Structure 1
Amino acid sequence: MTPSMTTAFSSFHMPERQDKPRRSGLSMMIDWGMGTDRQADTLNSAGHYIDFAKIAAGIARFLPRDVLVEKLALYTAQDVSTSPGGLFAELALSSGRYEEFVDEVLAVGFTGIEVSDNLLDLTPRDKAKAITHARAQGLKVFGEVGKKHAVQDDDTFIADVANCLEAGADWVFLEAAELFVDRVPRRDLFMRLRTEFDSDRLIYELPVVILPGITRDFKHEMTAWMVREMGTEVNLANIEWDELYTTELARRGFAGDTSHPDGAYARAGFTVEEH
């Protein structure tokens, strides 16, 4: 339970979570352009579990400007950092309009930006330059590492993470499509990420269900696996507004399985499942 929040049934002990502003156990909610009424309701009921909100892909281009400004202000008022999708930054970089893009990101009220090369082929130097420029403008910067339609070798992936952090990225998103291949986790890559970098700086993406073959049950299975392997305070991204509480259940080991070795079920004496 977060210290500043009172809940019912508080005598039932759960794994502890940091309160906002958190350094670990960060959650990024993906926003597909939800209306401001639903957004306000979501923030009211679950805002204490949202650290970042991403206006997905290029949706910021299609929202009415006044609605986008209102949405970003609602998030900021609840201490939720905001950023446009990395694919929008890739479009700006590809068309030679990145600096103009950064200026408008600031003008409408975003507090952060994502620099990715999911589809675009960026040199390490160009990616670092984009990160450095955004930082210089006062934005929080999320580097992203990984391709959507390819699998890089471990050394290339690790080098990209290091490049983002050395360039000044505050955090690095790790592309879900590269973390799990054919529905199987890349255990050696996970191990290197955990041993070579500060875990507070890495945010593990969950797959979005609009992608072919991705279902909500597989996404939940991935969430449970990462919590089981890396603990309650693993940083997670791409949580839908209606998955905030199911994700929190998984974080606390209270989501219908006993695989979390320090979860609520384990603490209550259930036998921990072996995986």
Structure 2
Amino acid sequence: MWDCPSFLDLPERPEKPRSCGLTHVLDKGMPIPILEAMLAQSGHLIDVLKIGWGTAYLDPAVKDRVALCRSAGIVPCLGGTLLEICHAQHRIDELVDWATGVGVSAIEVSNGLQAISRSEKTSLVNRLSREFLVLAETGAKDSAAPVVVSDWVSEMASDLAAGAQWAVVEGRESGTVGLYHPDGSLRTDLVDAIAARLPLERVIFEAPRKQQQVWLIERFGANVNLGNVPPDEVMPLETLRVGLRADTAVTHRAVVAR
């Protein structure tokens, strides 16, 4: 077991399993040897690994992928697009049986394709939360879809009440939709409304870009939940959380001024 040095004065980070300060990683189907190497170096920093979109359905090594995550104390989660397609084809029962068989412990319930009604989504969250950890995502993947702040916050609150473990704020892999304007800047009115109404330890903000991560860390502190983090950005993100990178070191003046 590696012993992290402790001679610097840095923000405290809870040990895994964490209830806040989660790092949620987007896995686009990386080869198993690469996943093994990543987990050996930074698995202690990862809380959830989302097997993106529908890649799990095509992956001959999905059981190995899931087993590696579980052995590292990481929650393996199916992407929401797979669930949306299963819902459209009336194959939710089959999805549940298959997911259980490969050892998946979490499912994302999303409506990024805008083909699931609000009541249907609530029912899915309620049903699936009896067997899995549910990450309920709010927001469309279409950049032209309007972002109505009150509707988003209401939907997120309903998802949590229906049994979701975490409410996920849509940002996509690109960081240019949903929570973000097309230029990647945050919709601060949406962030403020979420913070005012929802428990932040139950909210995961998708933040694939460094500047987005910096903004959210400066707004909410080191232990904000961040999602859709690229695998090669896990350790760089941790340096942002604890002020070991110039972008956030200014927030710890007592440390850098010595």
Q: Paired residue for 1:246, among 217, 230, 236?
A: 236
3-state secondary structure, aligned to 1:178: coil
Distance in 2, matches of 1:269 and 1:12, equals: 10
Q: Is the 8 A contact 1:228 1:259 kept in 2?
A: no
Instruction: Note if 1:199 corresponds to 2:195.
Output: no
Per-residue deviation, residues 140-186 of structure 1 (Å, max 9, x unmatched): 00100011112321111111101111111010110012111133321
Per-residue deviation, residues 100-145 of structure 1 (Å, max 9, x unmatched): 1122111111010000000133222100111111122x21001000
Deviation at 1:269, TM superposition (A): 4.0
Distance in 2, matches of 1:228 and 1:70, equals: 37
AA aligned to 1:238 is N
AA aligned to 1:147 is A
AA aligned to 1:173 is V
Q: Is the 8 A contact 1:90 1:120 kept in 2?
A: no
Runs of 4+ off more than 6 Å: none
After superposition, the Cα gap between the structure-2 partners of 1:71 and 1:223, relative to the gap in structure 1 and judged at 3 Å, is same
Distance in 1, matches of 2:59 and 2:185, equals: 37
Distance in 2, matches of 1:202 and 1:260, equals: 26
AA aligned to 2:4 is T
Instruction: Within 5 Å, give how 1:46-65 maps onto structure 2.
Output: 46-64=42-60
Distance in 1, matches of 2:225 and 2:25, equals: 12
After superposition, the Cα gap between the structure-2 partners of 1:194 and 1:97, relative to the gap in structure 1 and judged at 3 Å, is same
TM-score by length of 2: 0.92
Deviation at 1:258, TM superposition (A): 4.5
Aligned to 2:174: none
Aligned to 1:144: 137
Deviation at 1:249, TM superposition (A): 1.0
AA aligned to 2:120 is D
List runs of 5+ in structure 1 lacking aligned partners.
Answer: 208-218
Question: Percent sequence identity over matched residues?
Answer: 29
CA RMSD of aligned residues (A): 1.7
3-state secondary structure, aligned to 2:247: coil
Aligned to 1:216: none
Q: Paired residue for 1:124, among 97, 114, 118?
A: 118
Aligned to 2:153: 158
TM-score by length of 1: 0.86
Q: Paired residue for 1:168, among 163, 166, 174?
A: 163
After superposition, the Cα gap between the structure-2 partners of 1:93 and 1:40, relative to the gap in structure 1 and judged at 3 Å, is same
Q: Paired residue for 1:105, among 99, 120, 141?
A: 99
After superposition, the Cα gap between the structure-2 partners of 1:187 and 1:139, relative to the gap in structure 1 and judged at 3 Å, is same
Aligned to 2:254: 267
AA aligned to 1:122 is I
Instruction: Note if 1:114 corresponds to 2:108.
Output: yes
Aligned to 2:40: 44
After superposition, the Cα gap between the structure-2 partners of 1:260 and 1:105, relative to the gap in structure 1 and judged at 3 Å, is farther
Instruction: Within 5 Å, give how 1:212-231 maps onto structure 2.
Output: 219-231=209-221
3-state secondary structure, aligned to 1:237: strand
AA aligned to 1:27 is T
Higher normalized contact order (CA 8 Å, seq sep 6+, divided by chain length): 2
Task: Using the TM superposition, name which of 221-230 and 247-256 deviates more.
Answer: 247-256
Aligned length: 250
